[in-house]
């Protein structure tokens, strides 16, 4: 039914409705956010020095909701996938409340796990690893456990990488494009009715989120987008193998490539925190974008560098699929992102020492 409604003109219409509605809503909600307390406050780990509206995620959600009201393919898709719709709405509300009230981390995690369980119990879950790491069919317990882990980790990973202007929005927009192509390749075109409106709303959001940012996405956006991308990845992977589509391996490769940078960054930081006896949820300044800031890059340069790396990883993963197995490609993706992170981190230490030596030479050498 949904696919019958999908034409090129229809897809463009969905994109434009979300784009225009988000564009119209943003100026109004930017002015409203200080009144209702939805602002991001400066602290020791943040670059901005004044209150910034944290209304971006809510605006994107409202734009997509309005699009669903007037755009039948999206409305039908969300109705037919009600558990996913409920989970996304719950995470949006939780994120907005967290931006306003600073909810306890354990409460946020509990809600995220609840939403992940709702998704898994609805049938959107990994039933097999399809030969990745030599693993095929999964028991029901591991189907739920792995699916809930992936959804929850990706929701938080995407939230944690939202640290410089335009980064989370640009990665989400890029992923929307990648998943749109993937939806067509694996025969899941009905999801274009959601992906393109999300991309349209993100494009309008980026207009105001590019440095100097007039607003931030907030947890009401970054957590939801990470969760959505992980859920869609699972849908495409399972759907492609269920329908015996020849391009099934590409669903795995593109999904992991789309998630790898925020995932590795989040896991690396969490592991380092626990090694130091700190909570994995403790705030610090050791994310990838923080190292770029220490290199004195401006926000737009950081965003472009990370997005270009993300695009390169995606393209190289596709090319590698002609030579290597899916498992090997995933290991190469992990290695590439870790190597990239180490280069940024240790080049900072090297340049810091160079600057110190030059400063000492200037001071003591006549």
Alpha helices in the chain (DSSP H): 2-5, 8-36, 56-70, 72-80, 82-101, 105-121, 140-160, 167-185, 192-209, 219-242, 248-275, 288-294, 299-320, 326-364
Q: How far from 122 is each of 2, 118, 245, CA to CA, in Å? A: 20, 6, 23
Q: Is 43 annotated as ligand-binding?
A: no
Beta bridge partners of 53: 39
Beta bridge partners of 52: 40
* CA nearest to 186, candidates 194, 175, 178, 174: 178
Q: Annotate 234-286 with DSSP letters as a single string.
A: HHHHHHHHHTT-TTHHHHHHHHHHHHHHHHHHHHHHHHHHHHTT--TT---S-
Q: Is 81 annotated as ligand-binding?
A: no
Give the Cα separation of 191 and 14 in Å (integer). Answer: 12
SS3 10: helix
Residue numbers belonging to the annotated binding site: 159, 219
Query: Per the annotation, where are the binding residues for Mg(2+)?
Result: 159, 219
């Amino acid at each position: 039914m949904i696919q019958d409604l999908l034409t090129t003109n229809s897809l463009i219409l969905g994109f434009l409705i979300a784009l225009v509605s988000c564009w119209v809503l943003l100026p109004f909600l930017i002015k409203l956010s200080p009144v209702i307390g939805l602002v991001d406050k400066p602290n020791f780990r943040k670059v901005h020095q004044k209150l910034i509206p944290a209304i971006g995620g809510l605006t994107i959600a409202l734009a997509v909701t309005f699009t669903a009201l007037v755009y039948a393919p999206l409305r039908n898709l969300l109705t037919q996938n009600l558990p996913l719709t409920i989970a996304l709405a719950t995470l949006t509300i939780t994120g907005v409340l967290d931006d306003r009230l600073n909810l306890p981390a354990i409460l946020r995690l509990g809600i995220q796990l609840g939403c992940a369980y709702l998704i898994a119990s609805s049938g959107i879950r990994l039933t097999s690893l399809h030969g990745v790491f030599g693993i095929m069919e999964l028991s029901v317990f591991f189907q739920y456990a792995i699916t809930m882990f992936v959804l929850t980790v990706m929701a938080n990973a995407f939230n944690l990488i939202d640290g410089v202007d335009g980064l989370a929005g640009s990665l989400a927009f890029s992923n929307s494009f990648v998943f749109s192509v993937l939806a067509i390749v694996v025969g899941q075109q009905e999801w274009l009715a959601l992906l393109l409106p999300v991309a349209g709303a993100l494009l309008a959001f980026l207009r105001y989120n590019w440095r100097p940012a007039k607003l931030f996405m907030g947890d009401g956006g970054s957590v939801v987008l990470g969760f959505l991308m992980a859920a869609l990845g699972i849908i495409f992977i399972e759907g492609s193998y269920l329908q015996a589509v020849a391009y099934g391996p590409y669903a795995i490769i593109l999904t992991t490539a789309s998630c790898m940078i925020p995932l590795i960054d989040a896991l690396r930081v969490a592991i380092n925190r626990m090694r130091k006896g700190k909570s994995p949820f403790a705030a610090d300044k050791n994310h990838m974008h923080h190292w770029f800031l220490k290199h004195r890059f401006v926000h737009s340069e950081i965003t472009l560098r990370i997005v270009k790396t993300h695009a390169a990883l995606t393209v190289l993963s596709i090319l590698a699929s002609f030579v290597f197995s899916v498992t090997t490609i995933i290991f190469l993706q992990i290695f590439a992102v870790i190597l990239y992170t180490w280069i940024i981190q240790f080049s900072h230490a090297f340049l810091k020492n160079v600057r110190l030596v030059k400063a000492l030479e200037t001071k003591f050498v006549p």
